[in-house]
Homo-oligomer: A and B are copies of this chain.
């Protein structure tokens, strides 16, 4: 893909990050493991969203409530054509080579993505299709993964799904257009830090603040 086509596509669609973060800046707690995929205390980062009817419905669950977070979450889900995630999000926490009976992700036979997902990894692997989600494994870096995700997304947006390392690399490379923090009033005291290694070159402007039960949504645009 030539760079001029890259710029053309960028104008049509956005690269977006929406992530729950503790007040002390972590998006997962310390000691992530098979039993504790979000680290110690990390599940609490998502209490606010798990309680929402909008999230439960998108995850094939019943019940839930409707509050000031609902439109924020609806907007987050809207117009996303592809997701990029790191090995940390796809799993397993042990990482390394895939082995003979490779890990199928955390989400069972019907993952909640319903769109193309590009997984950054150091270890090659054939694409994995589960229901209507296809995971494509990308070994040649974040730029390549973004080009492929943009192509798959068409005129829709690309969602950078985490973990911290992947988000930080895209932010640091100034490839993100929009960053929304769901700030949860807890302290994790350690874990996977957002903004680690991202510096003052990245300029942000506040777009919107929404106060909701158990969370404050701060949405920023990244100044090109």
Contact = CB atoms under 8 A, between A and B. Distances in A.
Interface in A152-208: 181, 183, 185-190, 194-195, 197-200, 202-206
Central interface residue in A24, A186, A197, by most chain B CB within 10 Å: A24
B25 A220 contact: no
A114 B197 CA distance: 40
A23 interface: yes
A206 B216 contact: yes
Size range of the interface on A?
20 to 34
A51 interface: no
A142 to B, nearest CB: 19
A189 B200 contact: yes
Interface string A9-27: 0000000000000011100
A185 B208 CA distance: 12
A76 interface: no
Name A's interface SS. Answer: loop
A218 B24 CA distance: 13
Q: State the number of copies, please.
A: 2
Contact of A25 (B25, B186, B216, B218): B25
A183 B24 contact: no
A200 B23 contact: no
Nearest to A40: B200
B24 A198 contact: yes
A209 interface: yes
A105 interface: no
**Minimum-distance CB pairs A-B, first 4:** A189-B199, A24-B195, A185-B204, A209-B211
Interface of A: 23-25, 41, 181, 183, 185-190, 194-195, 197-200, 202-206, 209, 211, 216, 218, 220
26 contacts: A23-B181, A23-B204, A23-B220, A24-B25, A24-B194, A25-B25, A41-B200, A183-B218, A185-B204, A185-B205, A186-B200, A186-B203, A187-B195, A187-B198, A187-B199, A187-B200, A187-B204, A189-B195, A189-B197, A189-B199, A189-B200, A206-B216, A209-B209, A209-B211, A209-B216, A216-B218
